Structure 1
Amino acid sequence: MTGESDSGAHEDAVEQLTELGLGLYAARAFVALTALSGGTAVEVSRTADVPRTRVYDAVEELSELGLVGVEESTPKRFTPVGTDEAADRFLDEYETRVETLRAALSTLEAERDRS
């Protein structure tokens, strides 16, 4: 992430990930891991501007969402899922949320119409 366009893409990706619900450190860590094709907490910390001790919390958040794999080595290594898989996971999550919203609002409309 040395060039200006890389920096712009980095910031755009972090912004979009936070808009999609990731915490700032998790978003930064995922972008760094994607740029690095994986790495250790020290590497992520340096690349992502995330305190090393917070990288573990960020990776846990990402792991729970299925966005990062954790290799139990010394030191631990973290590997991001591919771009398409990450995008599909967010898309699936938001489609589910929209359908849940639609059902809830439809229920409210039906109750209103019965009144």
Structure 2
Amino acid sequence: MTRTLFFLGGWSALALGLVGVFLPLLPTVPFVILAAFCFARSSPALERRLIEHPRFGPHIAAWREAGAISRRGKWMATAAFAVSVAAALYWMRWPWVAFPLAAMLASGTWIWTRPER
């Protein structure tokens, strides 16, 4: 049962990562890392395919080894946060706009404190 849930979670995360390739505000790499985590517990063959992937494999390895995020990834996340907050400032009223702003500050701070590879 648990293995099945991890398998379904891996495919779900991979699907969200694929959507993130086309939607600029949805991150791809974190979902691929999550998929690798799930597949490690359900399908070693699929985990191996992700680890050996030329584009995503290095990101997975960096995260597993040191919790590292590339500088480019940090800047991309920051830019996505900025676009989201700008949209919130445009469409939302106070105090609701404080929620995306607080999420950006908390998440951005955490991302920028991660080591770089």
- The answer to whether TM tops 0.5 is no
More strand per residue: 1 or 2?
A: 1
TM value normalised by structure 2? 0.36
Which of the two has higher C-alpha Rg?
Answer: 1
